[in-house]
Amino acid sequence: MGRDAQRLAEAAGAARARGAEVETAAVPLTETAALSRCLQEFDAAHPVDLLIANAGVKTGNHGGIEPAVQAERVIAVNLTATIHAVQALLPAMHARRRGRIAIVGSLAAVAPHGDLLSYSATKAGLQAYATALRRSLAGSGVGVTTVIPGFMDTPMTDRQKGPAPMLMPPARAARIVARGLEQ
């Protein structure tokens, strides 16, 4: 799922070329009713084993000044939409007693950055949410993984000013995440 149909089609083409069966859906995550409906319809046809909640937005601030409306947008995508996606699928996963939810957080959760007020807050919120969810699902057959990346060489990092220590190519990060999920 994404919101850019053209890029989704390109990603789907690359995955099909490697032998995957692919369906795509272009849904802005902030349209939470459409997001939940889309996930539930997909799950009814293809029971979901793994949800990776990856989309996120990062915006900066200076001297602690961040317009509240900007913070609201960051919270809407990073935190609220992720919770909607998880809760759309959880009842079915719970009933099947199988499935895994992977939530992409950030090192900013544990090392909040002075120039990333709301971003750091949402990633800390996601980390606490994932930990609480893992505890509440103990013994249910449904697992929860928190992914905590450092800097990856993606458009998000391209837009950032300032240093990006230990920058990792996204393909390498993806391999590490996949290995962790398999374990």
Ligand X SMILES: NC(=O)c1ccc[n+]([C@@H]2O[C@H](COP(=O)([O-])OP(=O)(O)OC[C@H]3O[C@@H](n4cnc5c(N)ncnc54)[C@H](OP(=O)(O)O)[C@@H]3O)[C@@H](O)[C@H]2O)c1
The residues binding ligand X (CB under 6 A) are: 2-4, 28-30, 54-58, 77, 104, 106, 149, 151-152, 154-157
CB of 140 to ligand X, least distance (A): 25
CB of 12 to ligand X, least distance (A): 14
Strand ranges, E, within the chain: 50-53, 99-104, 142-147
CB of 162 to ligand X, least distance (A): 12
Q: Which is nearer to ligand X, 104 or 130 (CB)?
A: 104
CB of 85 to ligand X, least distance (A): 10
Q: Which is nearer to ligand X, 63 or 155 (CB)?
A: 155
Question: Using alpha carbons only, what angle is made at residue 148 by residues 103 and 168, rounded to the nearest 5 degrees?
Answer: 120
**Nearest to ligand X by Cβ — which residue?**
56
Q: Which is nearer to ligand X, 96 or 177 (CB)?
A: 177
C-beta separation of 82 from 103 below 8 A: yes
CB of 160 to ligand X, least distance (A): 8
Residue 91 carries which DSSP code?
Answer: H
Q: Which is nearer to ligand X, 2 or 112 (CB)?
A: 2
Q: Which is nearer to ligand X, 42 or 151 (CB)?
A: 151
Nearest to 101 by CA among 91, 110, 111, 109: 91
Count the Cβ atoms, other than its own, within 10 Å of residue 160: 14
Cα distances (Å, whole numbers) of residue 118 to 68, 149, 161, 168, 182:
9, 17, 17, 24, 31
